[in-house]
Amino acid sequence: MSFSPELLDEIRSRLDLVELVSTHVPLKKAGANWKGLCPFHAEKTPSFMVNPGRGIFHCFGCGVGGDAFGFLMRVERATFPEAVRRLAELVGVALPTADRPARDDGLRETLYRAMEWAARCYQAWLWERPDAERARRYLAERGIGEALARTFQLGYAPEGWDHLLAAARAEGLEVATLELAGLILPRQTGPGYYDRFRGRLLFPIGDPQGRVIAFGGRALAGEEPKYLNSPDTPLYQKGQTLYAFALARERMAATRRALLVEGYFDCLAAHQAGFGETVAVLGTALTASQLGLLRRYADEAVLFFDADRAGAEAARRAEELLEQSGAPLAWAVSRTGAFTAGGFRLRVATLPAGHDPDTFLRREGAEAFRERLGAARNLLGYALERILAEEETGTARGRTTAFARIALMLSKVQDAQEAAELAGEAARRLGVDPTQLWFEAQRLQAAPRRPATPPSPAEPAPVAFERDLVQLLLQRPEARQALGGSLAAEDVTHPGLRAILGALLAHAEVPPEGLVSRLEAEAERALLTGLLIEEREWPEPGQLIGELRHRLELRHRMRRIREMTQAIARAQAAGDPGLADLQLALQAEARQIREMAAGRSDPMIEGGVRP
């Protein structure tokens, strides 16, 4: 079965590659990447790198590289369809079957456009309609300023049955599209449709790229339910995204931290108070897919609970995460005692009883919130405390149940020293031998591993100029914008680089890491991941782009000279009367090249091959 690149892109976007790889290879943070010993060849010094932001891996020792599908194929000797099926099931992406044909990606684009159009309508209605005054007043009462509301694209759905439906018909949008997008519903008592959202303040929910895929609606007049969210659609599945993720990811990357709250207003209040790394979980328990999104940009997440339910909620969240079916979560405990998933720390910040982040920030302010954040405790500590509190450890049966629950949690802890220390503490509290608890956790942790497929030999290294050119285009968007219009795949001679450049030019709308699934040869994919994952500094990129443009023009002119030389040879053989004109054009072209080359040097490619 074949899978569309768009489908593979969606699976990759929901998956945390560090989390997947960590089930097979212990990894440590190394700048923007994670590093470990390569599972595909014997080595003593780690040269295997994983970049969670791009979702790719590369070994600089043996040259193997690729994405999550390639990793699973190698490490578990899976076929490509098997790898796709496994990862799709893991992240909740439905694959085409005989009963459900491959989805029409044109339809998805139609749905994206419909959702963006609806978001613009709702936003305009919030600020322009007189009957939206109560929504504007409600925002003011909650302390949300207009600038922040516009940044979050908040909107308003008017009272009535068909305001959006009528506007859509006037725009020529099809009813079937609106229904599939979850914007309208069929009437139960007759023909026709009506708007899903009516008389509500609306919160657009975006995908990781910031495209609107769903809405959350807050009732303004005591209606039930208080919050109404979009249903699952081809664009939106609950538990697969986070509210405000696209707005928060830049701040997450800068602070290496994510703040997790539960409600829309909690998230808005945190952003307004200066905590721009805040996202909301959209009313669901934290899922492996959401953790995967966070780990691309942050090293830790802090969850907020009020004091009345902090212990119970922390324990529930920890056990839910540990027990998610099929999730390859590699849990560990850091040196600071923080509960971690493959190195991603999870902590809990408590607020006074009866408070959520919104009410606490409005009453106590940002500094008090920051103090609570600084006092956050590790999630596993809360979970262990809760297990001991829930089970009747004064009885043999209660101790046995607590023993089993704690052993299961400790079986996910990868760091042996930290696991032993936690086992000792738990055993002391239970009154059992810590060795017993430790061995039980180790027994649960043990799992067979399959041998890896040996790597294929890498192709010859490219020349310096061509490698630098393609790597700059991959790593710097401004270079693609400046040079893309004057480039062709034929501008490089190395086969792998030529394939990468051709794919980059043919799929300009796709992030460079998305080209992995659009390259045919394994050697090309390995070369691409190596170019992307290498942490290279580009001093004065504007000057380098200018030098590259100059060199490329020289190459283009030299290509024309070769073509003109061949044309002159044919004209001489055929006695073509236009021979003299061709010779004059050749002389002019050669003169232009001499003038361009005079006095120019290229520090970026010093020692490389001249065109």
Residue with the two structure tokens 């042996």: 416
Minimum mean pLDDT among 20-34, 133-147, 391-405, 560-574: which range?
560-574
The pLDDT score that the predictor gives to residue 343 is 55
**Digit-coded pLDDT (tens) for 530-544:** 898 887 777 777 778
**214 vs 473, more confident:** 214
Predicted pLDDT at 596: 63
What is the residue-wise DSSP string for 95-148? PP-SSSPPP-HHHHHHHHHHHHHHHHHHHHHHHH-GGGHHHHHHHHHTT--HHH
Q: Please compute the mean of the pLDDT values over residues 483-507 and round it to a whole number.
A: 83
CB contact set of 87 (below 8 Å; sequence gap of 6+): 11, 15, 20, 68, 69, 72
Confidence of residue 319 (pLDDT cuts 50, 70, 90): low
Mean pLDDT within 171-196: 93
For residue 279, the model assigns a pLDDT of 97
Mean pLDDT, residues 123-137 taken together:
97
CATH class as words, domain 5-91: alpha beta
pLDDT value, residue 309: 62
pLDDT number for residue 134: 96
Q: Does domain 245-383 have CATH number 3.40.50.2300?
A: no
Q: What is the pLDDT of residues 513-532, one digit of tens each?
A: 888 888 888 888 888 998 98
**What Rg do the C-alpha atoms of the chain give, in angstroms?**
29
pLDDT confidence of residue 453: 43
* Residue 333 reports pLDDT greater than 60: no
Partnered with residue 34 across adjacent β-strands are 29, 50
Res 602: pLDDT: 44
Q: Please tell me the least confidently modeled range out of 82-91, 271-280, 378-387, 517-526.
A: 378-387
pLDDT of residue 414: 54
Q: Which residues contact 289 (CB under 8 A, 6 or more apart)?
A: 14, 15, 91, 92, 239, 240
- Residue with tokens 């030299």, as numbered in its chain: 558
- Percent of the chain having pLDDT more than 70? 83
Give 425 or 46, the one with higher predicted confidence: 46
> What pLDDT score does 585 carry?
77
Position 568 scores a pLDDT of 81
Mean pLDDT, rounded, of the chain: 81
Q: Measured between alpha carbons, how far is residue 123 from residues 3, 89, 188 in Å?
A: 37, 36, 29
Tell whether the model's pLDDT for residue 251 goes beyond 80. Answer: yes
Amino acid 376 reads A
pLDDT at 150 over 90: yes
CB 407 within 8 A of CB 426: no
Is the model more confident about 332 or about 351?
Answer: 351
β-strand pairing of 227-229 with 212-219: antiparallel
Across 196-224, b (16+ Cβ under 10 Å) vs e yields: bbbbbbbbbbbbbeebbbbbbbbebeeee
Torsion angle of the four alpha carbons 388, 393, 396, 401, in this order, in degrees rounded to the nearest 10? -20
% residues pLDDT > 90 (the chain): 31
pLDDT value for 269: 96
Task: Render pLDDT for 552-591 as a digit per residue (tens, 0 to 9).
Answer: 777 777 777 777 787 787 877 777 777 788 778 777 767 7
Q: Which residues pair with 345 in a beta bridge?
A: 300, 340
Quote the DSSP letter at residue 243: B
Predicted local confidence at residue 328, as pLDDT? 33
Q: What is the pLDDT of residue 23?
A: 81
Instruction: Report which listed range, 23-37, 157-171, 489-503, is most confident.
Output: 157-171
pLDDT score at 314:
53
Query: Span 464-605: which CATH code?
Result: 1.10.860
466 falls in which pLDDT band (50, 70, 90)? confident
Q: Tell me which DSSP letter residue 300 carries.
A: E
Q: Tell me, what's the pLDDT at 158? A: 96
What are the tens digits of pLDDT across the range 268-310? 999 999 999 999 988 767 777 788 788 778 888 998 876 666 5
- Does the pLDDT value for residue 89 go beyond 80? yes
pLDDT surpassing 50 at residue 606: no
User: Rounded distance, CA 605 to CA 416, Å?
Assistant: 48
Q: Assess if CATH 3.40.50.150 describes domain 105-229.
A: no
pLDDT of residue 338: 41
DSSP 146-215: HHHHHHTT-EEE-SSS-HHHHHHHHHT--HHHHHHTTSEEE-SSSSSEEES--SEEEEEEE-TTS-EEEE
User: Band of the pLDDT at 593, cuts 50, 70, 90?
Assistant: low
pLDDT in the model for residue 339: 42
Q: Tokens 């309609």 — which residue?
A: 129
pLDDT of residue 202: 98
Q: Are 55 and 69 in contact (CB under 8 A)?
A: no
Nearest residue to 604 (alpha-carbon basis) of 534, 512, 540: 540
For 505-562, give the secondary structure using H, E and C.
Answer: HHCCCCCHHHHHHHCCCHHHHHHHHHHHHCCCCCCCHHHHHHHHHHHHHHHHHHHHHH
What residues contact 269, with CB distance under 8 A and at least 6 apart? 142, 143, 144, 357, 358, 361, 362
Q: How much is the pLDDT for 317?
A: 60
Give the Cα separation of 567 and 185 in Å (integer).
68
Q: What is the pLDDT of residue 7?
A: 84
Q: Which residue has the higher pLDDT, 184 or 13?
A: 184
